[in-house]
Amino acid sequence: MTDPVQHIDDLMDQYPSKPEYLIGLLQNIQSHYGHISQDAMVLASEHTKVPLTQAYSVATFYQSFRLDPPGENEIKVCLGTACHLNGGQRLVDGLSRKLGIEPGETTEDMMITLNTVNCVGACAIAPVAIVNEAYHAGATLGKLEKEIKKIMQPSMDTVETIEGETNA
């Protein structure tokens, strides 16, 4: 496995040491790691000669940046006008209760991240939820709970297999 610091150095070498390259560098770091860690933010800030507080301001201003690692699975609920009018917010509220997290957060076991999006361009099939890039038309809390069970099932299968082997 490659050294993460060396890899970030390699990413930074692709960008001139100027403030106008901060966003591009942060996007590149996030695309490789799934989020921007504190260490990566410090390195990017130093490389682009942008004060650390300003770099954090940029990263927290744009919703596309993540400062925390994402879960293994992502559920996105559309809250565009059509989805909102057809129950998108109820889906978010129900999923928040079910998972014990708010939008933008990840479950403690790092299995699921819940996010909202402004529009997915699928108004005719509203409300829409996206589970790991699979679109679910006419989404309901019941349908999404089934998807969550499918996501969680592989880990349960592993436990059952291990227990079965132990008892044999």
In the chain (168 residues long), the average pLDDT of successive 10-residue segments reads 66 94 95 92 96 96 89 95 96 96 94 94 95 95 95 61 47
pLDDT of residue 9: 86
Task: State whether 91 and 45 are in the same domain.
Answer: no
DSSP-assigned letters across all residues of 117-147: ES--S-GGG-S-EEETTEEETT--HHHHHHH
pLDDT of residue 4: 56
pLDDT of residue 167: 45
Count of domains for the chain: 2
CA 154 to chain centre: 20
Domain CATH for 105: 3.40.30.10
| Sequence-ordered list of residues with C-beta below 8 angstroms from that of 7, at least 6 positions apart, any chain | 32
Task: State whether 108 and 151 are in the same domain.
Answer: yes
Q: Strand 73-78: give its sheet, edge to edge.
A: 112-117, 73-78, 129-131, 134-136
Geometric angle at alpha carbon 110, from 144 and 108, rounded to 5°: 95
* Strand partners of residue 130: 76, 135
Task: State whether 77 and 151 are in the same domain.
Answer: yes
pLDDT of residue 63: 80
pLDDT of residue 162: 47
Residue 167 in any domain: the answer is no
Coil, strand, or helix at residue 105?
A: coil
Of 13, 32, 61, the one marking the end of a domain is: 61
Q: How far is residue 77's CA from residue 163's CA, in Å, rounded to a whole number?
A: 36
Q: How far is residue 136's CA from residue 147's CA, in Å, rounded to a whole number?
A: 10
Of 61, 83, 99, the one marking the end of a domain is: 61
Positive or negative torsion for Cα 108, 113, 114, 117: positive
Contact indicator for 128, 122 with CB cutoff of 8 Å? yes
Domain that holds residue 127: 73-155
Token digits of residue 38:
């504190």
pLDDT of residue 144: 96
